[in-house]
A and B are shown apart, each in its own frame.
Chain A
Amino acid sequence: MAKTYDYLFKLLLIGDSGVGKTSILFRFSEDAFNISFISTIGIDFKIRTIDLDGKKVKLQIWDTAGQERFRTITTAYYRGSMGIMLVYDVTNEKSFENIKNWIRNIEENASADVEKMILGNKCDLDSKRQVSKERGEQLAVEYQIKFVETSAKDSLNVEYAFYTLARDIKAKMEKKQEASNPPGARGGTHQLKANDQQRKPPSWLSRCSIL
């Protein structure tokens, strides 16, 4: 069958245990399926399809919950990932301090040009807050990473965060393709680009299947 999408991005959720990574991916506490079979086993990853500037983009989003007790995420998880959500809990100082360790872990294991974004989760719990929004912003500036506060519970900014990360990855890929195209032949450039895009996802797919 003909391929029905333009881009395929693998994204990871990373951060300390208990910051709400699973809630960002999995909403079981919100609905009637609390005691369902699915919530007992847990979700490994999700596929979501979004529209970005007229392009059909497939996101494969992986939860790394359960891995973090090893202090690092294994290389297998990082393989082929193009975007990483670094999640901390605004009511947990330690999880915020550990973002720096997670960034180091990413630098050591993930591809050098992986796009990153920092999420300060549980911002609905204002009375228990230990980390101000300003500190989150400051950290983001320090590492030159985008930042947003989220509430998985209220679905606040979660979708926005995924769109933002996906848009940044897409922009980076398009920039790369532009750079690798020969200068001058402006008319043919667009055609080449479209072909490149179609070839890209399968190459990543084959790498991913090792997982």
Chain B
Amino acid sequence: MSDADTNDAVENEYVEDGSNKLLVKCKFCGSKILERKSGKFVTKEIDLPLMEQDKRAEAKVQYEKINQFFFVENMYTFENIGFTHTIDNCKYLSCADCDAGPVGYYNMDTKHSYVALSRVKHE
């Protein structure tokens, strides 16, 4: 399946009228992150650090490419979310209850947040 096909499949399942059709929750503990219809579906390619990193001390931070996000204009739209300290003008988003993450990132310049569709549960 091509990337375009994958996007279409995801859009049908999780996106309605350009925003999240379902509740966005933490994959691990189910903590509510976004209400329905509060994030706008966008595609852009971003390298996000893996949620589980290599535990060896000498290992470098490992990333993966992610290209589907829910865009959140105002941080107070979130129901429950954690913001890390700033690295390279960006804060990573984590679950407010179990601290799993990054589930997305926050841009310090634009003050916009992006939640990765693949890092959360849709219910």
Contact surface of A with B, Cβ cutoff 8 Å:
1, 4-5, 8, 26-28, 30-33, 35-39, 41-49, 58, 60, 201, 205, 209
Chain B residues positioned under 8 Å from A4 (CB to CB): 35, 38, 77
Chain A residues positioned under 8 Å from B97 (CB to CB): 27
Chosen A-B contacts, 18 in total, with CB atoms closer than 8 Å, are: A4-B77, A31-B28, A33-B52, A36-B52, A36-B99, A36-B101, A37-B51, A37-B61, A37-B102, A38-B82, A41-B85, A44-B84, A45-B82, A46-B81, A46-B96, A47-B76, A47-B81, A209-B111
Interface size on B, residues (CB 8 A): 37
User: Is B100 positioned at the interface, with any CB of A under 8 Å from its CB?
Assistant: yes
Chain A residues positioned under 8 Å from B73 (CB to CB): 1
User: Is B75 positioned at the interface, with any CB of A under 8 Å from its CB?
Assistant: yes
User: Which residue from A1, A5, A33, A41 sits with its C-beta under 8 Å from B100?
Assistant: A33
User: Is B86 positioned at the interface, with any CB of A under 8 Å from its CB?
Assistant: yes
Q: Is the CB of B101 within 8 A of A48?
A: no
Instruction: Give, as a whole number of angstroms, the nearest-CB distance from B103 to chain A.
Output: 9
Chain A residues positioned under 8 Å from B87 (CB to CB): 41
Q: Is the CB of B75 within 8 A of A38?
A: no
Q: Give bound CA distance, A27 to B93, whole Å.
A: 15
User: Is B8 positioned at the interface, with any CB of A under 8 Å from its CB?
Assistant: no
Q: Give bound CA distance, A1 to B44, whole Å.
A: 22
User: Is B10 positioned at the interface, with any CB of A under 8 Å from its CB?
Assistant: no
User: Which residue from B52, B53, B76, B85 sits with its C-beta under 8 Å from A42?
Assistant: B85
Q: Is the CB of B101 within 8 A of A49?
A: no
User: Is B14 positioned at the interface, with any CB of A under 8 Å from its CB?
Assistant: no
Q: Is the CB of B53 within 8 A of A47?
A: no
User: Is B25 positioned at the interface, with any CB of A under 8 Å from its CB?
Assistant: no
Instruction: Give, as a whole number of angstroms, the nearest-CB distance from A177 to chain B.
Output: 20
